């Protein structure tokens, strides 16, 4: 079983804005090992979402290498990226990206369907931990922001991914719900060896993670 889940080697990313090249990530060398939990902090616009998007394959680096589960992604075609996302990756997006025509259960079951897996006792446990049991038949667009965020977290974890990328996963939750989600992520990391990379502006949430990375001027400071 590979221990290096994510490796970035000399990765840079720039965007062109008004004709100007804007380097958001500058020659990054990073490694995320199996079961590690990392809080990613940084000012607004420092590139935190860009880093998550690169690891998820939603953006591509301008230079450098991205190696996922010991496989260099430079040669990956769309189907290989889809396979990685369906099987190994869970993502909690800042805007949740829930499937609004569907109810809570079908949203959470979506990654299972992509992997042809049944709803399992693990899903019941997840739903229970996130306080979603009584909401399973509700349509997600009728839920509050905090409830939608918990559905997004459950959906990202239903298929037991090797890697969870979470962009402000507790931004809409109160302090006690937020602490429960942090405890859930810590348990997942230690019991299931899920690697967690979580963007947060909350120092309290960051304190639950083993490592803290601060992104500034395109570089990571630990
Ligand atoms: N697709 C894009 N095209 C052009 N510029 C982009 C694109 N995506 C991001 N940027 C720019 O890259 C910089 C980093 O954006 P990013 O969203 O990664 O920051 P962030 O640290 O996640 O910010 P926040 O905390 O506000 O979510 C910003 O200046 C942003 O405008």
Domains of the chain, CATH where assigned: 35-59+77-221 (3.40.50.300)
For residue 1, pLDDT over 80 is answered with no
For residue 75, pLDDT over 80 is answered with yes
CB-count burial class (<10 Å; 0-12, 13-18, 19+) for 20: exposed
Which atom in ligand 1 lies closest to the alpha carbon of residue 59? Answer: 1
pLDDT tens profile 181-197:
888 888 888 888 999 99
Q: Is the beta carbon of 41 within 6 A of some atom in ligand 1?
A: no
Would you state the torsion angle of the CA atoms of residues 85, 86, 92, 94, taken in this order, to the nearest 10 degrees? Answer: 60
The rounded Å distance from CA 49 to ligand 1 centre is: 7
ipTM, 2 decimals? 0.97
Overall residue count recorded for the chain in this entry? 222
Question: Measured between alpha carbons, how far is residue 108 from residues 32, 62, 149, 160, 221 in Å?
Answer: 26, 34, 12, 12, 35
Q: Is the beta carbon of 101 within 6 A of some atom in ligand 1?
A: no
Please report the pLDDT score of residue 2 as a whole number.
64
Label the pairing between strands 37-41 and 211-216. Answer: parallel
Sequence-distant (6+) residues with CB within 8 A of 123 are 108, 109, 112, 154, 158
């Amino acid at each position: 079983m590979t221990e290096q889940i994510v490796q970035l080697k000399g990765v840079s990313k720039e965007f062109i804005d008004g004709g100007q090249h804007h380097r958001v990530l500058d020659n990054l060398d990073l490694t995320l090992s199996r079961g590690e939990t990392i809080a990613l902090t940084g000012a607004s616009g420092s590139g935190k979402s860009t880093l998550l998007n690169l690891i998820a394959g939603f953006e591509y680096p301008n230079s450098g290498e991205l190696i996922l589960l010991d496989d260099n992604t430079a040669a990956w075609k769309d189907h290989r990226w889809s396979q990685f996302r369906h099987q190994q990756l869970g993502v909690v997006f800042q805007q949740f990206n829930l499937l609004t025509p569907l109810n809570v259960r079908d949203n959470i079951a979506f990654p299972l369907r992509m992997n042809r897996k049944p709803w399992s006792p693990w899903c019941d446990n997840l739903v229970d931990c996130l306080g979603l049991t009584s909401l399973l038949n509700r349509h997600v667009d009728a839920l509050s922001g905090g409830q939608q965020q918990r559905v997004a977290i459950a959906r990202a974890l239903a298929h037991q991914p090797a890697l969870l990328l979470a962009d402000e996963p507790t931004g809409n939750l109160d302090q006690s719900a937020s602490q429960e989600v942090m405890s859930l992520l810590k348990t997942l990391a230690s019991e299931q060896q899920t690697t967690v990379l979580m963007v947060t502006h909350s120092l309290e949430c960051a304190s639950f993670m083993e490592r803290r990375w601060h992104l500034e001027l395109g570089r990571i400071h630990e």
